[in-house]
Chains A and B, each alone.
Chain A
Amino acid sequence: MEFSFSSSASKIVHSTAFTSLESGDALMIGVACLLVYLAIWKKFEPLLLLPMGFGCLLANVPMSMMASTDTGGLLNFFYQGIKHEVLPPIIFMGVGALTDFGPLLANPTTLLLGAAAQIGVYMTLIGAVFLGFNMQEASAIGIIGGADGPTSIFLASKLAPHLLAPIAVAAYSYMSLVPLIQPPIMRLLTTEKERKVKMEQLKPISQTVKIIFPVAVTIVCCLMLPGVTPLLGMFMLGNMFRESGVTARLHETAETHLINIVTIFLALAVGSSMTAESFLRLETLKIIALGLLAFAFATAGGVIFGRIMCKLSGGRVNPLIGSAGVSAVPMAARVSQKVGAEEDSSNFLLMHAMGPNVAGVIGSAVAAGVFLSLFGDASTSMDTHAALAPIIGNPEPGMQAVATVVEAIKQ
């Protein structure tokens, strides 16, 4: 092989990614840096936005093979976890392991606040259709109002995978902005007297009820809306680990190491889908605007229903806890506590707000299930084995080999 300094230098220069860097890539690298900045210096959901921003950075380095669409690339492998609905349900299992349903069980009517807050989902759906999205895309955008990242990713990957990146970014960005978005709406929609309402102390709940509840929710919800079983089923499994009292190690793993590991994979995979082609579009701006609308309407829906419950209960329900129905556990409950404490520092709403908060998680999962029932195409839902075959290979030869060995041992 002939070697000359100039030709080799020229070859090295042409092999750098600079030669392939386009304006769109450069802009997306800027977006990635912005996400990293927001995560580190503004503390906007750093556990998610930091890996997501870095995944975006990696995906937009030309020739790096790190985009979600680069078959054989590292992040393409992680992306299969979203594509085949693996990662969001595992996150939900961790969330279930972290969730205490005690406040909800002590005051089950707060489930209605979790349902009312889903109004944000449907107002956004209508808004998205008005802006020209089709019904499946509008459903995936609308679920941003559920303020639940894994649910948004789960639904987007099923109904509108091409919009996954902007939906995930909008969902997580606005979730981190809940303390800024919600308080003005809460103050606007409630009177000072209502904000000062003190609620009765919650009654203790039997441990047996706490154990039976996840099973009951799984049976009721998953039979009615089977499409949501991966999310809700894993959520309730995680909670069973917590409440059963016999799986301390599984509980600890689910609520710490597992959820952390899967969060890294999920956020990197979402970041890897943020390429210039998928993100630098007019739709992204529309989705970001609709996301804000979703959060605002969800908060308003919860607070207004809280006011109705306040009136019906003779002033025993503080309407501020309604805003916690948007999910975003536990930040939305903390906002209810903070706004309530601003009016009366001796008013402790946190535990009362945790009821609608976890009801919001169930409510947004049910909303996703309704969308899947209406718009999920059964014909596109692949057999799990067929879906995983490209990743794990065909397990049949392995099974045959095991059977041969077993047979040989028997002989």
Chain B
Amino acid sequence: MEASVSAAVSVSALAMSVIFMVLIILIFTIKLLVKLIPYEAPPAPPARKVSAASSQPEQDDQVAAITASLAAHMGKRPDEFRIVNIQSR
């Protein structure tokens, strides 16, 4: 294919116009999408219940048993420390 600089300039002008046209169409498409489907913040995660475990009678028994065992092991009185959390594996 024979090529001249003037033809190259014409091709460049045409091609740049096409690129801008395609991308402008995309801009309007995006703006329309964003307008039609606005961002909604995800719901906040539920607050963690810190002392929920100790309110259950079964776990109260477990806490009492572990406290007594630890007190005996460490040579302390049960009211000198407090178990705040029990995690099962």
Contact = CB atoms under 8 A, between A and B. Distances in A.
B23 A115 contact: yes
Contacts, number: 114
A246 to B, nearest CB: 18
B39 interface: yes
Given A111-B26, A220-B26, A224-B22, A209 B33 contact: yes
B39 A204 contact: yes
Nearest to A123: B12
A18 interface: no
Chain B interface helix/strand/loop/mixed: helix
A244 to B, nearest CB: 15
A208 interface: yes
Contacts of A371: 15
Contacts of A349: none
B80 interface: no
Contacts of B27: 108-109, 111-112
Interface stretch (A41-49, A172-180, A361-369): A361-369
A370 B33 contact: no
Given A112-B23, A362-B23, A118 B2 contact: no
A212 interface: yes
Interface string B30-47: 110110011111000000
Nearest to A107: B30
B56 interface: no
Interface stretch (A125-133, A189-197, A254-262, A316-324): A125-133
Interface residues of B, number: 32
A289 interface: no
Nearest to A221: B22
Contacts of A374: 11, 14-15
Chain A interface helix/strand/loop/mixed: helix
* Most chain A CB inside 10 Å of its own CB: which residue of B3, B24, B33: B3
Interface in A91-129: 104-105, 108-109, 111-112, 114-115, 118-119, 121-123, 125-126, 128-129
A205 B41 CA distance: 10
A205 B39 contact: yes
Interface stretch (A134-142, A329-337, A379-387): A134-142
A209 B34 contact: yes
A220 B25 contact: yes
Contacts of A105: 30, 33-34
A118 B40 CA distance: 35
* Most chain A CB inside 10 Å of its own CB: which residue of B9, B23, B24, B33: B23
B18 interface: yes
Contact of A126 (B5, B20, B34): B5
Nearest to A122: B12
Contacts of B74: none
B31 A108 contact: yes
Given A122-B15, A206-B37, A209-B33, A362 B2 contact: no
A138 B33 contact: no
A118 B15 CA distance: 10
A216 B15 contact: no
Interface string A199-219: 000011110110011001100
A366 B23 contact: yes
* Most chain B CB inside 10 Å of its own CB: which residue of A111, A136, A362: A111
B30 A108 contact: yes
A122 B7 CA distance: 12
Contact of A208 (B1, B20, B37): B37
A133 B3 contact: yes
29 contacts: A104-B30, A105-B33, A105-B34, A108-B27, A108-B30, A111-B23, A111-B26, A112-B27, A115-B20, A122-B11, A122-B12, A122-B16, A125-B8, A125-B12, A128-B8, A129-B7, A134-B2, A135-B7, A209-B33, A209-B34, A212-B33, A220-B22, A224-B18, A225-B18, A359-B23, A366-B23, A371-B15, A374-B15, A375-B1
Shortest Cβ-Cβ A-B pairs, 9 listed: A122-B12, A108-B30, A129-B8, A135-B3, A370-B15, A111-B23, A126-B8, A108-B27, A129-B3
Interface of A: 104-105, 108-109, 111-112, 114-115, 118-119, 121-123, 125-126, 128-130, 133-136, 138, 203-206, 208-209, 212-213, 216-217, 220-221, 224-225, 359, 362-363, 366-367, 370-371, 374-375
